């Protein structure tokens, strides 16, 4: 079966994680942030090392290990009873992050909506990431050159994912607003159907 899925999409720092965490507390929604899955890995494991190598440069981890790890995480969450594919809607944040990943997941996901959290001011993104670096001890947020590279990677590799899923699934959300207002905008779409 395909997983019924909502995608949270947007630049690093746009607030996908904040919204995903809140949505994941609603019954029958299961939030999965790909970056969190990577950060939960032991740094001395093979894939943990690969993650550190790429993320510390502001680049994407190669697609095969990323999708393998993601599948392993979802299978584990299903087996341990945290995710119930029959009832739950998957809220994905940070994956798929390029068109190839979207293609690799095409047989697995039934994407019902994509929320594009648009932040018009790059300065805001950079500020949010720098604040998060202190709070969450994230190496990739700590260095301004790495942040710039992540924003470039997003423009070059991730943005084409918007066109992959097309206009019918796309909901643009103004991510310059407060988290509460962003949430209201997302929920308004979700409760329409």
Is 61 a residue that touches ligand ADP (CB under 6 A)?
A: yes
Cα distance between residue 104 and residue 120, in whole Å: 30
Kindly give the residue spans of alpha helices, DSSP state H, lying in 10-154.
Answer: 16-23, 34-39, 46-55, 63-79, 99-104, 122-136, 139-142, 144-153
Could you tell me the smallest distance in angstroms from the CB atom of residue 140 to ligand ADP? 6
> Is residue 97 close enough to count as binding ligand ADP by CB under 6 A?
yes
Neighbours of 72 (CB within 10 A): 12
Give the Cβ contact number of residue 130 at 10 Å.
15
Instruction: Give residue for tokens 């009873």.
Output: 81
Whole-number minimum distance, CB 81 to ligand ADP, in Å?
A: 25
Among 7, 8, 32, 60, binds ligand ADP (CB under 6 A): 60
Nearest-approach distance from CB 132 to ligand ADP, in angstroms: 8
**Crossing angle (nearest 10°) for helices 122-136 and 144-153:** 120
Contact partners, residue 62, CB within 8 Å, separation at least 6: 50, 54
By CB under 6 A, residue 12 contacts ligand ADP: yes
CB of 169 to ligand ADP, least distance (A): 18
Piece of 92-100, 111-119, 168-176, 181-189 that binds ligand ADP (CB under 6 A): 92-100
**Spatial contact of 139 and 128, defined as CB atoms under 8 Å apart:** no
Answer yes or no whether residue 55 interacts with ligand ADP by CB under 6 A: yes
Minimum distance between the CB of residue 135 and ligand ADP, rounded to whole angstroms? 13
Distance separating alpha carbons of residues 53 and 8, to the nearest angstrom? 25
Exactly one of 7, 32, 89, 150 binds ligand ADP (CB under 6 A); that residue is: 150
74 binds ligand ADP (CB under 6 A): no
Question: In whole angstroms, how close is the CB of 138 to ligand ADP at the nearest point?
Answer: 8
Residue 7 touches ligand ADP, criterion: CB under 6 A: no
Residues that bind ligand ADP (CB under 6 A): 12-13, 34-35, 38, 54-55, 59-61, 66, 94-95, 97, 101, 140, 150
């Amino acid at each position: 079966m395909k997983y019924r899925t909502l995608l949270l999409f947007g630049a690093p720092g746009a607030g996908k994680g904040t919204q995903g965490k809140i949505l994941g507390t609603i019954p029958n929604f299961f939030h999965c942030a790909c970056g969190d899955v990577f950060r939960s890995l032991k740094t001395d494991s093979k894939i943990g090392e690969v993650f550190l190598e790429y993320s510390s440069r502001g680049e994407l981890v190669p697609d095969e290990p990323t999708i393998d790890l993601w599948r392993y995480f979802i299978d584990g969450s299903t087996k341990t009873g945290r995710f119930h594919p029959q009832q739950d809607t998957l809220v994905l944040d940070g994956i798929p992050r390029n068109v190839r990943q979207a293609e690799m997941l095409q047989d697995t996901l039934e994407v019902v909506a994509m929320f594009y959290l648009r932040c018009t001011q790059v300065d805001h993104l950079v500020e949010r990431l720098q604040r998060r670096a202190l709070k969450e001890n994230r190496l990739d947020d700590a260095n301004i050159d790495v942040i710039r590279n992540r924003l470039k990677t997003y423009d070059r590799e991730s943005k084409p994912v918007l066109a992959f899923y097309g206009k019918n699934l796309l909901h643009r959300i103004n991510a310059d607003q407060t988290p509460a207002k962003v949430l209201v905008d997302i929920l308004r779409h979700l409760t329409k159907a």
